[in-house]
């Protein structure tokens, strides 16, 4: 897949200036940036939630910004906050995205089992921990077996065990040939990424992390 | 099942889970409103036995005989302890009647006294509110008493005159003259078998005050329902909308599913309250709502079906308000202000005849005004086509507007 010259502005403020990058199947692309740098905007444009001022999102030579039916099939999107109905149980929320039989299989041996959703299937979302909600969100977002997964700060404010579960799922997703685009602040997530980019002042530039946190912080 | 249907059914399930809380708030709101309506209605029609009956007199009051008569009733007649007479113009009397300041008024036509003198029939007209028909029957009784008294005393005077003439030695032909006088008198009395009419005037659309305020109560309930359902809209968040949008369910479709599910539970509530109200009506005699009678199961079903369009219109308005105001507290406050403001303008708290005509006209095209007018016309079996068409247009406008607002929020606020 290739992202080519994506532009976005809010009024006079240019948020994204010709953002471009490429990713192969099985790769994870990490996008780093400070608060308000435009990471979430970029992901929501690629997910088809927001419109951009120009550019292309190519998958097998097809621009998915123009072909929404292909984008809906191929792209999974996990927004920063949890996209769940708080009053309903995990089961009810999953029912929105899964057919009954598919959900049964996924809970037994598939992605939902891997994310450990069986443990809290009957609990209302409002009584869940942050980690449970995030795992459930990912479970909802990948119901249609996407080939590209857009994750917006997936492990923010989660405990280590929960992060571990999400990372394991991401590794598994990559191993099965999926492409992950990850917007993150979390240093723990950097080893998962095959390529890193920094988004600053609307410009996306490649970055190589050498373990020097101070240098990274200065770059953001 | 398509994702839109699933989203609708999940929203419905969510609303049902929130329903007990909503219902408790609604019952409390309804009790407060019903108490208010009861106080208004009882003040107007419920205390006639304990108060003086205030009657307006309008028409040509310059005639001396009539003036003396009114003064006599005001100051001398025993009825002054039960009836208070107020002289006023027809316009003032109509306003005072609607305002509840008088119980009815008597319109005396020009030439009334001369007609009485000549034996011609110039009926005086008593105007009362439809909801105050009891007053009409009181007046009827009073008139019957007055006429009886008049007949008896007139007869006495005829015979007294006969007796006086005899005492003064005038006897020649007195028997024949006395008989002739009696015959003429009987002829005059009999020709006035319709000496008065009773006209009724409804508060609006020919409805009595009880039915009027029942319609007002329903409209206000639907308006305040938006506040009761705060919990449905409060926890609505954008991430789900974004995820749905990324999966091809556009903001307009999301809003439509949410609106339908909200409309569905509102209709369920209307059906429950209609059923409860019909049971109450069949067991308790509620004075002043003659238009309804004792509704049966069929009537309740018809009522609920008739409520579909106004319910959907007001629900769409609530959806729009919650969509337009991102802050939950602000949205509830706005809902309250809209409910009270529109309710007041459209006459739900008090008949709006006292507003300038331009405001009355404007109010009749506001959502509450249309809903109110529709309900009144349903009760008085009038044509409701105009109201139904405009309410449908409002409904479409609110839902479409909400869809655009959602789209703006989904596509515009993430950074």
User: For residues B11 and B249, what is the distance between their CA atoms, to the nearest angstrom?
Assistant: 14
Domain tally, chain A:
1
- Is residue A111, in this structure, part of any structural domain at all? no
- B321 Cβ contact list (under 8 Å, min separation 6): B226, B331, B334, B335, B338
- Is residue A188, in this structure, part of any structural domain at all? yes
Are B55 and B105 in contact by the 8 Å Cβ rule? The answer is yes
Q: Same domain, yes or no, for B8 and B149?
A: no
Q: Residue A81's closest chain B neighbor by CA?
A: B239
3-state DSSP call for residue B139?
Answer: helix
State the residue range of the domain holding B130.
47-201
User: For residues A134 and A155, what is the distance between their CA atoms, to the nearest angstrom?
Assistant: 8
Phi, psi of A84 (to 5 degrees): -130, 155
Domain tally, chain B:
2
Q: Which of B11, B246, B410 sits opposite A75 (nearest CB)?
A: B246
Query: pLDDT category, B8, cuts 50, 70, 90?
Result: very high
Enumerate the residues of chain A whose CB falls inside 8 A of the CB of residue B246: 44, 47-49, 72, 75, 77
Q: Same domain, yes or no, for B173 and B110?
A: yes
Enumerate the residues of chain B whose CB falls inside 8 A of the CB of residue A86: 235
Q: Same domain, yes or no, for B351 and B231?
A: yes
Q: Same domain, yes or no, for B242 and B376?
A: yes
Enumerate the residues of chain B whose CB falls inside 8 A of the CB of residue A77: 242-243, 246
What pLDDT, on the 0 to 100 scale, is given for residue B415? Answer: 40
User: For residues B131 and B56, what is the distance between their CA atoms, to the nearest angstrom?
Assistant: 17
What pLDDT, on the 0 to 100 scale, is given for residue B103? Answer: 76
Q: Same domain, yes or no, for B282 and B146?
A: no
Q: Per the structure block, which two tokens stand in for B26? A: 């609604």
Q: Same domain, yes or no, for B101 and B129?
A: yes
Q: Is B238 at the interface with chain A, CB within 8 A?
A: yes
Q: Per the structure block, which two tokens stand in for A86? A: 């708080």
Are A29 and B209 in contact by the 8 Å Cβ rule? The answer is no
User: For residues B209 and B219, what is the distance between their CA atoms, to the nearest angstrom?
Assistant: 15
User: For residues B341 and B347, what is the distance between their CA atoms, to the nearest angstrom?
Assistant: 10
Question: Which DSSP string do the residues of B14-58 spell out, in sequence order?
Answer: HHHHHHHHHHHHHHHHHHHHHHHHHHHHIIIII-TTTSPEEEEEE
What pLDDT, on the 0 to 100 scale, is given for residue B118? Answer: 63
Mean pLDDT for B217-234 is 87
Domain boundary among B176, B201, B226: B201
- Is residue A72, in this structure, part of any structural domain at all? yes
Q: Is B316 exposed, middle or buried (0-12, 13-18, 19+ CB in 10 A)?
A: buried
State the residue range of the domain holding A55.
2-84+145-219
Q: Is B410 at the interface with chain A, CB within 8 A?
A: yes
How far away is chain A from the Cα of B12, in angstroms, using its nearest Cα? 11
Say whether pLDDT at B58 is over 60. yes
Q: Same domain, yes or no, for B245 and B323?
A: yes
Enumerate the residues of chain B whose CB falls inside 8 A of the CB of residue A38: 415
Mean pLDDT for B6-34 is 87
Domain boundary among B142, B171, B201: B201
Q: Is A215 at the interface with chain B, CB within 8 A?
A: no
Are A41 and A15 in contact by the 8 Å Cβ rule? The answer is yes
What CATH number is associated with residue A26? 3.40.50.300
User: For residues A202 and A12, what is the distance between their CA atoms, to the nearest angstrom?
Assistant: 13
pTM score of the predicted model: 0.71
Enumerate the residues of chain B whose CB falls inside 8 A of the CB of residue A95: 6, 10
Q: Is A161 exposed, middle or buried (0-12, 13-18, 19+ CB in 10 A)?
A: exposed
Domain boundary among B172, B201, B230: B201
User: For residues B259 and B8, what is the distance between their CA atoms, to the nearest angstrom?
Assistant: 9
- Is residue A180, in this structure, part of any structural domain at all? yes
Q: What are the C-alpha distances in Å from B258 to residues A111, A136, B8, B94?
A: 29, 22, 7, 47
Q: Same domain, yes or no, for B14 and B134?
A: no
Say whether pLDDT at B47 is over 60. no
Q: Is A87 at the interface with chain B, CB within 8 A?
A: yes
- Is residue A167, in this structure, part of any structural domain at all? yes
**Dihedral angle over CA of B309, B313, B319, B321, nearest 10:** -170
User: For residues A195 and A175, what is the distance between their CA atoms, to the nearest angstrom?
Assistant: 16
Enumerate the residues of chain B whose CB falls inside 8 A of the CB of residue A88: 10, 13-14, 17
Can you say how many angstroms the Cα of residue B84 is from the centroid of all Cα atoms in its chain?
A: 25
What CATH number is associated with residue B85? 3.40.1710
Say whether pLDDT at B113 is over 90. no
Minimum mean pLDDT range among A40-54, A90-104, B59-73, B321-335: B59-73
- Is residue A15, in this structure, part of any structural domain at all? yes
Q: Is A44 at the interface with chain B, CB within 8 A?
A: yes
Q: Same domain, yes or no, for B215 and B338?
A: yes
How far away is chain B from the Cα of A96, in angstroms, using its nearest Cα? 6
Mean pLDDT taken over chain B: 79
Say whether pLDDT at B192 is over 70. no
Residue of B152 and B48 predicted with greater confidence: B152
B239 and A50 within 8 Å at the Cβ level: the answer is no
User: For residues A114 and A140, what is the distance between their CA atoms, to the nearest angstrom?
Assistant: 13
- Is residue A66, in this structure, part of any structural domain at all? yes
Q: Same domain, yes or no, for B196 and B233?
A: no
User: For residues A153 and B414, what is the distance between their CA atoms, to the nearest angstrom?
Assistant: 14
Residue of B208 and B79 predicted with greater confidence: B208
A72 and B246 within 8 Å at the Cβ level: the answer is yes
- Is residue A139, in this structure, part of any structural domain at all? no
Q: Same domain, yes or no, for B350 and B223?
A: yes
Minimum mean pLDDT range among A4-8, B154-158, B365-369: B154-158
Q: Is A36 at the interface with chain B, CB within 8 A?
A: yes
What pLDDT, on the 0 to 100 scale, is given for residue B150? Answer: 65
Helix/strand/coil percentages in chain A, nearest 5: 40, 25, 35
Query: pLDDT category, B265, cuts 50, 70, 90?
Result: very high
Written as tens digits, the pLDDT of chain A (220 aa) is 899 999 998 888 888 999 999 999 999 999 988 888 889 899 999 998 888 888 999 988 889 988 888 998 999 998 888 889 888 999 999 999 999 888 999 888 888 888 889 889 999 998 998 888 888 988 998 888 899 999 988 877 677 878 888 888 889 889 989 999 999 887 778 888 899 999 988 888 888 777 677 777 767 7
Which of A79, A145, A199 best tests the B interface by mutation, with the highest count of B CBs <10 A? A79
Q: Is A2 left (phi over 0), alpha (psi -120 to 50) or beta?
A: beta
Q: Identify which of A30, A67, A49, A2 has the alpha carbon closest to the alpha carbon of residue A198.
A: A30
Q: What is the pLDDT of residues B384-395, one digit of tens each?
A: 899 999 999 999
- A78 Cβ contact list (under 8 Å, min separation 6): A134, A137, A138, A141, A149, A150, A151, A152, A154, B243
Are B97 and B127 in contact by the 8 Å Cβ rule? The answer is yes
Mean pLDDT for B164-169 is 80
3-state DSSP call for residue B329?
Answer: helix
- Residue showing tokens 């990850």: A182
3-state DSSP call for residue A136?
Answer: helix
Q: Same domain, yes or no, for B229 and B347?
A: yes
What pLDDT, on the 0 to 100 scale, is given for residue B117? Answer: 61
B10 and A96 within 8 Å at the Cβ level: the answer is yes
Which of A48, A71, A87, A90 best tests the B interface by mutation, with the highest count of B CBs <10 A? A87
User: Chain A neighbours among B 44-83 (CB < 8 Å)?
Assistant: none
CB atoms within 10 A of CB A144: 15
* Helices B308-324 and B367-379, axial angle in degrees (round to 10): 170
Are A162 and A184 in contact by the 8 Å Cβ rule? The answer is no
What pLDDT, on the 0 to 100 scale, is given for residue B48? Answer: 47
Residue of B150 and B330 predicted with greater confidence: B330
What pLDDT, on the 0 to 100 scale, is given for residue B203? Answer: 61
Q: Is the ipTM of this complex over 0.90?
A: no
3-state DSSP call for residue A54?
Answer: strand
């Amino acid at each position: 897949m290739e992202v080519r010259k994506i532009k976005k502005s809010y009024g006079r403020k240019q948020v994204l200036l010709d953002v471009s990058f490429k990713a192969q199947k099985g790769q994870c692309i990490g996008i780093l940036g400070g608060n308000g740098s435009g990471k979430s905007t970029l992901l929501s444009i690629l997910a088809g939630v927001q419109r951009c001022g120009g550019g292309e999102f190519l998958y097998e030579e097809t621009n998915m910004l123009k072909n929404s039916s292909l984008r809906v099939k191929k792209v999974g999107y996990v927004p920063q906050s949890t996209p769940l109905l708080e009053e309903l149980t995990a089961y009810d929320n999953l029912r929105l995205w899964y057919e009954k039989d598919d959900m049964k299989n996924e809970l037994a041996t598939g992605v939902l089992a891997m994310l450990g959703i069986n443990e809290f299937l009957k609990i209302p979302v409002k009584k869940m921990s942050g980690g449970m909600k995030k795992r459930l969100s990912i479970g909802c977002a990948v119901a249609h077996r996407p080939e590209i997964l857009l994750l917006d700060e997936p492990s923010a404010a989660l405990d280590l065990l929960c992060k571990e579960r999400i990372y394991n799922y991401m590794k598994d997703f990559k191993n099965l040939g999926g492409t992950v685009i990850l917007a993150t602040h979390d240093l723990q997530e950097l080893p998962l990424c095959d390529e890193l980019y920094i988004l600053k002042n609307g410009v996306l530039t490649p970055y190589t992390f050498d373990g020097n946190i101070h240098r990274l912080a200065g770059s953001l | 099942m398509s994702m839109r249907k699933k989203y609708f059914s999940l929203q419905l399930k969510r609303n049902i889970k929130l329903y007990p809380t909503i219902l408790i708030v609604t019952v409390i709101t309804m009790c407060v409103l019903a108490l208010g309506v009861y106080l208004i209605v009882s003040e107007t029609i419920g205390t006639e036995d304990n108060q003086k009956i205030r009657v307006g007199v309008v028409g040509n009051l310059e005639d001396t005989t009539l003036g003396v008569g009114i003064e006599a009733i005001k100051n001398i007649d025993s009825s002054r302890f039960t009836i208070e007479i107020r002289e006023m113009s027809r316009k003032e009397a109509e306003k005072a009647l609607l305002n509840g300041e008088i119980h009815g008024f008597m319109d005396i036509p020009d030439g009334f006294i001369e007609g009485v003198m000549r034996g011609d029939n110039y009926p005086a007209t008593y105007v009362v509110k439809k909801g105050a028909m009891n007053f009409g029957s009181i007046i009827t009784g009073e008139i019957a008493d007055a006429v009886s008294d008049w007949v008896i005393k007139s007869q006495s005077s005829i015979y007294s005159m006969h007796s006086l003439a005899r005492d003064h030695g005038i006897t020649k032909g007195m028997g024949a003259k006395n008989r002739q006088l009696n015959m003429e008198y009987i002829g005059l009395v009999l020709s006035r078998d319709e000496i008065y009419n009773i006209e009724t005037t409804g508060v609006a659309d020919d409805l009595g005050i009880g039915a009027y305020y029942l319609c007002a109560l329903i409209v206000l309930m639907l308006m305040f329902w938006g506040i009761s359902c705060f919990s449905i809209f409060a926890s609505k968040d954008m991430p789900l909308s974004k995820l749905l949008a990324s999966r091809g369910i556009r903001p307009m479709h999301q809003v439509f599913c949410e609106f339908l599910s909200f409309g569905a539970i509102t209709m369920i509530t209307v059906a429950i309250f209609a059923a409860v109200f019909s049971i109450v009506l069949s067991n308790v005699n509620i004075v002043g709502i003659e238009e309804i009678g004792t509704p049966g199961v069929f009537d309740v079903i018809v009522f609920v079906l008739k409520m579909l369009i106004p319910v959907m219109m007001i629900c769409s308005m609530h959806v729009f308000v919650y969509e337009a105001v991102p802050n939950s507290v602000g949205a509830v406050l706005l809902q309250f202000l809209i409910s009270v403001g529109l309710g007041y303008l459209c006459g739900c708290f008090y008949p709006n005849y006292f507003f300038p005509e331009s405001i009355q006209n404007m109010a009749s095209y506001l959502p509450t005004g249309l809903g109110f007018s529709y309900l009144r016309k349903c009760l008085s079996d009038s044509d409701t086509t105009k109201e139904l068409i405009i309410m449908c247009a409002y409904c479409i406008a609110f839902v479409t507007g909400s869809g655009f607002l959602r789209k703006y929020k989904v596509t515009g606020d993430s950074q």
